[in-house]
């Protein structure tokens, strides 16, 4: 291929109904087309302060330290863990899916002593099991995922903060898959650090990770800052600072950059900040409660449509995330052939699954800008047609009718 013949980007108009990423809200894409500013320009720093203010309600917190980590959601996860956990620290992980395993993998690299409290895929971890594990293991940090898209389960988190505080542990929550779609209540949960991403229910592109940090977690993070000789001599707080394993992900340094001190660290990703700012403005403009209700209606509609086709929804419905639905692939149907036809004939992407669920379920998301009635109806209508083409008999029209009725019912109540 001759490089100078490569054409401009002109992607197909796919409807992204997988477990994320999803189509970005047009307002977010427009915000990202705005011109750039220098990182210490007063307009830019005032945008940074606005972002801090916008994300506090999105996280359900009054935390001063609420800002963005530049990078995909995993950047927020890694920055949190590498800044909260030192080699040899004991960390308890609530493990109920692939992203729980990701937490253990990152923690193993840090050199933490990790214990997990597990639930089978499709279930959540009972809070009394968490309490017993904290009691037994005496962790310094407890880490969990809120909604794990790999299993479509949302871990209830009320009470987690109290358990951790009573045991003197800090807590961390990966809320990437739920932020903007299900309630995030950092303060009510009493958890210390929560991170997210834009590409699920916030309806933006991946590449920015909103984070909120309680004061007590911020104190702990600042207390172990790494002082770069000569450059940051004034920041020496005590003689016990442990060198943290990452410069880019050192939350103490990133907080200094987002504070009035504006100490240079990275160059804030201007375009991503514009996008993240608009994601939060769109969410708050809609209202968080109506937005969560919209995702709830989407879930009801999707499940009703799926069941009307004679298919079975995966997992414990009591704890199901509202923004993604797992569906058992019926016997005799080739799950990948269905996904291919959905993409090729209808320009619709649906998700496959990982690990123990690979080849067993599809995952259909309805997140952010895509958690809309017409997009669910279009997806179900397409799926019905594709399933028939793949030899699965289902009653024509039933899915769309059932989904529409369920949407209307859920939107009224
Ligand atoms: C999608 C998802 C992520 C994704 O992280 P990226 O780095 O943005 O790919 C992380 N955690 C959870 C729970 C997710 O659902």
Instruction: Locate the domains of the chain by residue range.
Output: 38-283, 288-409
- Best of 75, 149, 365 to mutate for ligand 1, by most ligand atoms within 8 A of CB? 149
Q: Fold for domain 288-409?
A: 3.90.1150
Helix (H) / strand (E) element for 161: namely helix 160-166
Residue 189: predicted pLDDT: 98
User: Which token pair is 314?
Assistant: 């995966």
Q: Ligand 1 within 6 A of 151 CB?
A: no
The C-alpha atoms of residue 264 and residue 178 are separated, in whole angstroms, by 32
The C-alpha atoms of residue 269 and residue 32 are separated, in whole angstroms, by 11
Average pLDDT over residues 111-123: 97
Minimal CA–CA distance to 315: which of 101, 150, 117, 180?
150
Residue 211, helix vs strand vs coil? strand
pLDDT tens-digit map of 343-361: 999 999 999 999 999 999 9
How many angstroms separate the alpha carbon of residue 236 from the centre of ligand 1?
35
pLDDT tens-digit map of 285-310: 999 999 999 999 999 999 999 999 99
Average pLDDT over residues 269-278: 98
Q: Ligand 1 within 6 A of 145 CB?
A: yes
Q: Tell me the whole-structure pTM to 2 decimals.
A: 0.95
pLDDT tens-digit map of 208-254: 999 999 999 999 999 887 544 444 444 444 444 556 889 999 999 99
Contacts for 36 with CB less than 8 Å, ≥ 6 apart: 270, 271
Residue 391, helix vs strand vs coil? coil
Domains 38-283 and 288-409 share a fold: no
Tell me the backbone φ, ψ of residue 78, rounded to 5 degrees: -70, -40
Residue 225, helix vs strand vs coil? coil
363 annotated as belonging to a binding site for a ligand: yes
Minimal CA–CA distance to 265: which of 291, 235, 290, 289?
235
User: Which token pair is 328?
Assistant: 């058992």
Residue 242: predicted pLDDT: 53
Residue 115: predicted pLDDT: 98
- Best of 197, 199, 211, 363 to mutate for ligand 1, by most ligand atoms within 8 A of CB? 197
How many angstroms separate the alpha carbon of residue 73 from the centre of ligand 1?
5
Which option is the CATH number for 38-283: 3.40.640.10, 3.30.70.20, 3.30.390.50, 2.40.50.1070?
Answer: 3.40.640.10
Strand partners, 179: 182
User: Do the beta carbons of residue 138 and residue 167 sit within 8 Å?
Assistant: yes
Q: Ligand 1 within 6 A of 324 CB?
A: no
């Amino acid at each position: 291929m001759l490089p100078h013949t490569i054409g401009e980007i002109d992607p197909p108009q796919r409807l992204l109904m997988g477990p994320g990423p999803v189509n970005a809200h047009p307002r977010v894409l427009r915000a990202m087309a705005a011109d750039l500013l220098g990182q210490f320009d007063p307009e830019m720093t005032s945008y940074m302060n606005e972002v801090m203010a916008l994300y506090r309600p999105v996280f359900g917190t009054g935390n001063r330290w609420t800002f963005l980590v530049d990078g995909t959601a995993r950047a927020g996860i890694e920055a949190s863990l590498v800044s909260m956990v030192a080699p040899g620290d004991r960390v308890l992980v609530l493990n109920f899916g692939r992203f729980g395993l990701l937490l253990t993998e990152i923690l193993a690299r840090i050199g933490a002593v990790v214990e997990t409290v597990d639930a089978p895929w499709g279930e959540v971890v009972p809070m009394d099991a968490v309490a017993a594990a904290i009691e037994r293991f005496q962790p310094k940090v407890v880490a969990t995922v809120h909604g794990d898209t790999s299993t479509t389960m949302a871990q209830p988190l009320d009470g987690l903060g109290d358990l951790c505080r009573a045991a003197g542990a800090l807590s961390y929550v990966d809320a990437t898959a739920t932020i903007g779609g299900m309630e995030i209540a950092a303060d009510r949960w009493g958890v210390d650090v929560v991170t997210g991403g834009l590409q699920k229910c916030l309806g933006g592109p991946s590449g920015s990770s909103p984070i909120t940090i309680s004061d007590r977690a911020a104190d702990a993070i600042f207390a172990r800052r790494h002082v770069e000789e000569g450059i940051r001599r004034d920041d020496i707080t005590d003689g016990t600072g442990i060198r943290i394993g990452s410069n880019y992900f050192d939350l103490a340094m990133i907080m200094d950059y987002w504070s009035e001190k504006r100490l240079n660290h990275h160059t804030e990703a201007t375009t991503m900040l514009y996008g993240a700012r608009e994601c939060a403005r769109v969410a708050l403009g809609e209202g968080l409660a109506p937005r969560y209700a919209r995702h709830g209606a989407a879930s009801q509609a999707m499940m009703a449509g799926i069941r009307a086709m004679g298919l079975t929804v995966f997992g414990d419905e009591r704890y199901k995330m509202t923004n993604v639905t797992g569906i058992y692939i019926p016997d005799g149907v080739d799950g990948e052939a269905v996904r291919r036809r959905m993409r090729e004939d209808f320009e619709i992407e649906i998700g496959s699954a990982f690990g123990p669920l690979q080849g067993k379920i599809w995952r259909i998301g309805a997140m952010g800008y895509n958690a809309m009635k017409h997009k669910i109806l279009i997806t179900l209508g397409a799926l019905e047609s594709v399933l028939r083409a793949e030899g699965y008999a289902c009653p024509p029209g039933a899915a769309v009718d059932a989904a529409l009725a369920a949407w209307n019912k859920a939107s009224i109540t």
